[in-house]
Chains A and B, each alone.
Chain A
Amino acid sequence: MNKKDIIICRCEDINLEQIHDLLDQGYTTIEDIKRLLRIGMGPCQGKTCGLLLQQEIARYLKCKTEEVALPKIRPLVTGVKLKAIVEGTKDER
C-alpha cells in the first residue's frame, strides 16, 4: 500500500509518508514529530495515533517500542466546553 494512503493521525490527517520524511531528516522523537506535524494535537489527543507513531519510530530506529519515549500527557482528558466550565463554577465563591 502507498504510504500516502496510510493515515496515522485521523484528527490532523497525517499519513505514514509524512512521518517517514521527518524520520529521514533526523527528527526521531515523538515530541519533535508532534510539533512539526501536529500529530496527536487534535481532539483525540493522540489516543489513536500515539502508539502507532511509537511503533513506527521503533521500527525505524530498530529498537524496542518501549524504548521510544511517549509524549507528555496534558489535560484535559476529554474536550469540555468553556461555557460549561463557567457554568460549573458559578455558585462557588
Chain B
Amino acid sequence: MNANIVIIGAGISGTAIAYYLAAKGMKDIVVVDKGYLTNGATGRCGAGIRQQWATKMNCIMAKKSVEFYEKANQTLKYPGDIEFKQEGYLIVAVTPEEDAQFSKNVELQNSLGIKSRKITKEEAKEIVPHINTDMFISATFCPTDGHINPFKANDAFYQAAKRLGVSFYFHEAVQSIQTVNHKVVSVTTDKHTFETNKVVNAAGGFAHEIGLMAGVPIPVYPEKHEILVTEPIEKIQGPMVMSFGKNLYCQQVPQGSFVMGRGTPGALHNHDIESSWEFLDEMAKTVVAFLPVVGELRVIRQWAGSYNMSPDRQPILGTVDECEGFYVACGFSGHGFMFAPITGLLLSEIILNQPTSIDMTELCMNRFKNQKTIEVEKSVV
C-alpha cells in the first residue's frame, strides 16, 4: 500500500497532526495504532490544561493550545463536546524557594499575555474554600486554565481527521521502518507494509523504540505515573489544586468525581503501568492533608500510564539529523495533552515545509547537541 505519510500512534498528538495535515489538503494520510483509540497516555491522563509554566517555550505552547481548545468543538465540527472547563489552576508554594520562583514565573507568564497572578493564602481560600492553609505559603492562580475530557478531545480530532479522508488502522503494531541511505522508504506493521517516505513518531511511551527502528536514538524514556478517581459528588471545587513541592494535583471534573495523581519518586524507566497500593497510600495522605474534606470520598478506581520524559522536560518536535523523512512528536514529559493543538500545527508546518508559527530551535531534537547547559522546566508533578 502507498501512503504520503504514516503517523505512528493515535493518541492526541497523532490525531492532531493527522487533522492539521488533512485540513491543509494533504492526501493519503495513514495513522496506525497498536491498540484501541486513546489507549495510551492520552486516555490515562489527568487532562489538566494550564498555562502557568516556568519556561517561555512551555508558556507559549500552552497559551496557543488553550486558544485552540476554547473553539475546538466548532473548529473540529465535533458533534459531541470536549467539555473544556475553565475554572483555573491554583498552584501552591510550599517553600520560600517556590514562593520566590513563582513570583518570577508569574512575571514571565504575564509578559507573554497569560493572565496569572500571585495570591495570598487567604485569597486562595476564597477560591478553594476547603483548602488547608497551613500547608502552603502563597499561591498562583490563572483563571483560564482548566480541564478537558481527554476521550472526547481525542475523538474530536479523530473524527475530524477521518472526515477529511485520513485512514486509521487500529489494533495494528508497527514492527519495523525501512530506510535506504538514511531516508524512510516504508513502514511495516503486523498486517501491512506501507510504502512511504514520511513517518511521524507519535508513539508516546514507545517513542524511543520507534526511533531505534529508523536508527534514530531519541533521548526519551517512559516513566510510570499513577492516578485515581473518586465517587462523584455535587460541585465543591472549581480549579485544579497543584503542588510541585508536595507532589500533588487534584481536580473535580464536571461529572463530579475527583481525579488526583502524584509522581512516584524513583520510578524505573520502563513500560510498567500497573497500579500500586504504595501510590494509593501516599496519594491519600497527601490529598487529605491539603483538602481534608476530600478524605470523605471513596476511591473507586486507580490506574496508571507512561510519561515520555525528555532531558529538559519540554517536548521534542520536528525533523531529526539522522534520517530524512522521519519526524518526531514525543518527550512531552507529562504535559502533552494540553500541548496537542500546537503540536499538530507545528508538525504540519514542518512536514509541509511551511514557515513555523513559533521558533523551533528549543523544540527540535538537535537542541541537545547544540546546548551546553539545558534549561530544565521545574514546574512539573
Interface residues of A (CB under 8 A from B): 27, 29, 31-32, 35-36, 38, 41-43, 45, 74-76, 79-83, 85-86, 89
CA distance A31 to B170 in the complex (A): 13
Given contacts A82-B288, A82-B295, A83-B295, contact A35 B43 (CB under 8 A): yes
- Contact check, A36 vs B155: say whether CB atoms are below 8 A apart: yes
Neighbour of A86 across the interface among B231, B255, B288, CB < 8 A = B288
- Contact check, B281 vs A89: say whether CB atoms are below 8 A apart: yes
Question: Could you show 21 A-B contacts with beta carbons less than 8 Å apart?
Answer: A35-B38, A36-B152, A41-B229, A41-B301, A45-B300, A74-B301, A74-B302, A75-B302, A76-B299, A76-B300, A79-B299, A79-B300, A81-B295, A81-B296, A81-B298, A81-B299, A82-B284, A82-B296, A85-B280, A85-B299, A86-B285
Taking CB atoms, residues of chain A closer than 8 Å to B231 are: 43, 79
Q: Is the interface of B mostly helix, strand, loop or mixed?
A: mixed
Q: Mark B29-69, 1 if CB is under 8 A from A, else 0.
A: 00000011111000100000000000000000000000000
Distance from A84 Cβ to chain B, minimum over Cβ atoms (Å): 8
Which B275-303 residues sit within 8 Å CB-CB of chain A?
A: 275, 280-281, 283-285, 287-288, 294-303
Task: List the 3 closest pairs (A to B, CB-CB), nearest first.
Answer: A79-B298, A83-B295, A85-B284
Q: Choose among B155, B281, B284, B285 the residue with the greatest number of A CB atoms under 10 Å from its CB.
A: B284
- Contact check, B287 vs A74: say whether CB atoms are below 8 A apart: no
Report the nearest A residue to B294, measured CB to CB: A82
Taking CB atoms, residues of chain B closer than 8 Å to A36 are: 151-152, 155
- Contact check, A75 vs B275: say whether CB atoms are below 8 A apart: yes
**Count of A-B contacts with CB under 8 A?**
73
Given contacts A32-B37, A38-B255, contact A82 B299 (CB under 8 A): yes
Distance from A45 Cβ to chain B, minimum over Cβ atoms (Å): 6
- Contact check, B300 vs A82: say whether CB atoms are below 8 A apart: no
Neighbour of A76 across the interface among B39, B296, B301, CB < 8 A = B301
Report the nearest A residue to B37, measured CB to CB: A32
Taking CB atoms, residues of chain A closer than 8 Å to B275 are: 74-75
- Contact check, A83 vs B288: say whether CB atoms are below 8 A apart: yes
Taking CB atoms, residues of chain A closer than 8 Å to B298 are: 43, 79-82
CA distance A29 to B301 in the complex (A): 20
B103 located at the interface, meaning its Cβ lies under 8 Å from any Cβ of chain A in the complex: no
